[in-house]
Chains A and B, each alone.
Chain A
Amino acid sequence: MWFENTVKNMNNTKHSAAYTPHDASSREESTMQRVNVGLARRYRRERLFRYCGLGAIIASIGFLLLLFISITANGWTAFIQTEILLDIKFSAEHFDVDNLSAANYGALVKSSMRQLFPDVKNRREKRKLYKLVSSGAVYRLQKMVMKDTGIIGTTQAVWLPADDEVDMFAKGRVDRDLAENNRRLNDKQIHWIDTLSATGRLKKKFNTTFFTAGDSREPELAGIRGATAGSLFTLAVTLFLSFPIGVATAVYLEEFAPKNKWTDLVEVNINNLAAVPSIVFGLLGLAFFLNILGMPRSAPLVGGLVLTLMTLPTIIIASRASLKSVPPSIKEAALGVGASKMQAITHHILPLALPGMMTGTIIGMAQALGETAPLLMIGMVAFIVDVPGSVTDPATVLPVQIYLWADSPERAFVERTSAAIMVLLAFLISMNAIAVFLRRKFERRW
């Protein structure tokens, strides 16, 4: 190291100075010279080091930007859905008044498609034609009829959702110049789509299905409502259990626990639990909650229990830090005017420590909201169409929905995955923002 040498040189200089003063000054000069000679190199190194640090930060931020940009670029189109305008003839012969849901709505869509393109005769081509409209279109017609039976016998212009491939094409996600074999739509279908859009029968509107529907195999019918509801139920269970237990544990360890081996063990144990891989908690949930206690698979209740165990260490550690930051003088004053220890804690220390505890809890909840792996273990990966209505219904959660969609082969699921990620990140960022706000507003320096 350079400066060890320099120091050594200086020492030498001092020793020799005692013997020959004249010699010493020339030596000192030479030391200064040596320092000066090295200075440029050292400053260069200094700059380089500094740039390295700056580079590291820029690299991290750049990666974050790249992540956000690529997700947004992939995902924003999922909020738009292509629809096709069809003149549906609700002719009376199709409907049995007593059993409206059993009518053949598919035939209505097909006949109106045939009307639009009368020159399509070939059976195989017809099938290709029908494929332009989503298979979910029939449900929309069914709903219309159930709502108002008066439309039977009339002809209505109805906007129906287009198939996901048409949607992708309309959004420009499919390359028109690709060889026919390499795309899902053939040339004829593209020609039909062009005709539709030229006659104003194709429009893009805000995709409400994405927010109101559960999961589906068809991308254009799939939505995040089921997963969001599942996430809310799971988080509710987690919050309901982990906040009281976490705070109680923190209060006990900080204020009541005797300082002995047992307390030490609990502390080490909590610190270690905070670093146990999340998937191990999933294994615990599978072996204990499902196989021993016989709780229902895929239920938000079990998910919430597992996430409670996982987030408890975070909440306990944050709550303890928050309790520690309340100055002891407050407690002493309370004890001095005759409060019991418990009264001093519940009346004075807890209210002052609460903002910090809530910040820790929100951060723990954000962590729980983004967690996937332990929930895979307890069966929350099932394909579930229905929106869950209680904590024991089978459900999935947003991150798991993202994982499931990311595995789907359809091109249209890529944009839906990205859109679901955008929704999840929006939730997480607003939760963190609330935590930061709480910290700023209630933080007290004593």
Chain B
Amino acid sequence: MHLSFFLLILLALSSGAYMLGKQKALQFTRERGAAAIHSRPGYYGLLLALWCALPSLFIFLFWTFFSDTVLTSLAINTLPESLQNLAPDQLNLMVNDLRNLVAGHVAPRDIDPVLQLAADKYNSMASISKLALGAVMFCAATVSSLLVYKRIVPEMRARNRVERIIKIALMLCSVIAILTTIGIVVSVLFESIRFFKQVPITDFLFGLKWSPQMAMRADQAGSSGSFGAVPIMAGTFLISGIALTVAVPTGLMSAIYLSEYAGPRVRTWAKPIMEILAGVPTVVYGFFAALVVSPFIRNSGEMFGLQVSSESALAAGLVMGVMIIPFISSLSDDVINAVPQAMRDGSYGLGATKSETITNVIIPAALPGIVGGVLLAASRAIGETMIVVMAAGLSANLTANPLHAVTTVTVQIVTLLVGDQEFDSPKTLAAFALGLLLFLVTLVFNVVALYVVRKYREEYE
């Protein structure tokens, strides 16, 4: 029996409850007239249906979260004493073996009879607990709906009760956004603290050397000093800097052209094209950077006798710049359009040309919004992953030369976490520390940007 079967039964039960509740309300109207009941009949049905479904649903969710843990510990308890008293990490391994056995992922010849016993125990208990779940859910649904059914009287404020339940559900949904942020902070912070227990935080923040591979072996000299994030941050800012140098003038100029110069015809086809540019997935940009732009830059560099790395920061930065052009242009477009027409007219009235009006009146007036947009774009460039993973290098060089290969925070997170990982090694934990750093840096940019944009908007409204 599949678990979704229970949910189907529950759905059938609650629709039955809806009919019952509605029928009872209709009965009242037949007996005492339509004005006798407080709410429309459907609300009585809905109330009954909700009360039928919700308790069982909570039981179901609770079971799906905790049954596995409980069952595993019960199965472990059936093992001999000697096995139960193993060190925690060995016990973990054994639990993993047990899980694999239960899922049937083990070839028959590798099966340990003792574990097989526990696995059989697990399986039998799992089927029992599933049946029990079904019974409990059924009972809860019928009992709670019966209780509510009995309490349905014409004076009952069914609509208000239903609306209160819906309102609580809506509120719970809006809490998810907060929970997400808390989840991000907690999960990243928790792993980072474990990392900083092994590597001092000052080494991480101010160390000039990054080579996480070395710390894999404890006997290696300087294994604790190789987690310095400075070259990575420098690389991140170098590439983002190149991207912004490309994107800010281009994005700003195209926003100015579109909002001040272009006629409606140009606007109707140029804006969707900019939107397409914004909608291209970053993995496509990354592929393009690695396949076309990097070789092009290397070849043209060689023509001028320059030594260009095949994973140069310039290539990744250029393509990333193109990626954020539409971002800057649409944000600047908004703020430029928000500048009141009276300011333009005033400037024209003094005899200024269009470009003079733009550079001396509109841009200064729109500056806070533009700065906010640029900051948001910078935060996006810093957090951008795929372009740099595919087009930038892996070696953490501390250099300001855009023709050299540098690495970024996101590249390091990906290389540290993709593939097999042990969860306690500083190498894996370092990725979370980098994630924390990334989150904090982008948070500062975002908060400042949102503050600036908000503050500016108040001025003209």
Contacts and interface: CB of A to CB of B under 8 A. Distances in A.
Nearest to A283: B435
B288 A61 contact: no
27 contacts: A1-B360, A6-B350, A35-B351, A42-B356, A52-B253, A56-B254, A61-B273, A63-B277, A70-B291, A248-B169, A252-B174, A253-B174, A275-B380, A277-B383, A279-B410, A280-B184, A283-B184, A287-B188, A312-B180, A313-B177, A316-B177, A340-B160, A370-B280, A403-B283, A403-B386, A406-B283, A418-B287
Given A272-B443, A432-B279, 13 more contacts: A46-B353, A46-B354, A61-B270, A71-B287, A256-B170, A283-B431, A284-B183, A287-B191, A312-B176, A366-B279, A373-B282, A406-B283, A436-B272
Nearest to A244: B173
Main secondary structure, interface of B, reads helix
B397 interface: no
A63 B322 contact: yes
Interface in B208-252: 249-252
B355 A50 contact: yes
Interface string A264-305: 011011111101111111011011100111100000000000
Contact of A60 (B177, B250, B438): B250
A98 B250 CA distance: 70
Interface string B360-377: 100000000000000010
A414 B360 CA distance: 49
Given A60-B322, A67-B288, A381-B418, A256 B171 contact: yes
Interface in A226-258: 244-245, 248-249, 251-253, 256-257
Nearest to A265: B178
Contacts of B188: 280, 283-284, 287
Contacts, number: 266
Interface residues of A, number: 93
Contact of B184 (A43, A55, A266, A281): A281
Interface string B185-207: 00110110000000000000000
Q: A-B pairs with the 9 shortest C-beta distances?
A: A277-B383, A53-B257, A370-B281, A287-B187, A49-B355, A56-B253, A373-B385, A248-B173, A252-B170
Nearest to B181: A269
Interface of B: 65, 68, 159-160, 163, 166-167, 169-171, 173-174, 176-178, 180-181, 183-184, 187-188, 190-191, 249-254, 256-258, 260-261, 270, 272-277, 279-288, 290-292, 322, 325-326, 329, 350-356, 358-360, 376, 379-380, 382-386, 389-390, 410, 413-414, 417-418, 423, 431-432, 435, 438-439, 442-443, 446-447, 449-450
A429 interface: yes
A357 to B, nearest CB: 14
B273, B280, B354 — most chain A CB neighbours (10 Å): B280
B180 A287 contact: no
A78 interface: no
Contact of B177 (A57, A270, A402): A270
A432 B281 CA distance: 13
Nearest to B275: A432
Interface of A: 1-3, 6-7, 35, 42-43, 45-46, 48-50, 52-57, 59-61, 63-64, 66-67, 70-71, 74, 244-245, 248-249, 251-253, 256-257, 265-266, 268-273, 275-281, 283-284, 286-288, 291-294, 309, 312-313, 316, 340-342, 366, 369-373, 376-377, 381, 399-400, 402-403, 406, 414, 417-418, 421, 424-425, 428-429, 432, 436
B315 to A, nearest CB: 13
B170 A248 contact: yes
Contacts of B390: 403, 406
A406 B382 contact: no
B117 to A, nearest CB: 23
A36 to B, nearest CB: 12
A3 B256 contact: no
A316 B176 CA distance: 12
A272 B438 contact: no
B177 A269 contact: yes
B253 A46 contact: no
Given A249-B176, A424-B284, A377 B382 contact: no
A69 to B, nearest CB: 10
A60 B358 CA distance: 21
Contacts of A381: 418
B173 A3 contact: no
B183, B274, B329, B380 — most chain A CB neighbours (10 Å): B183
A284 B180 contact: yes
Contact of B163 (A49, A56, A270, A342): A342
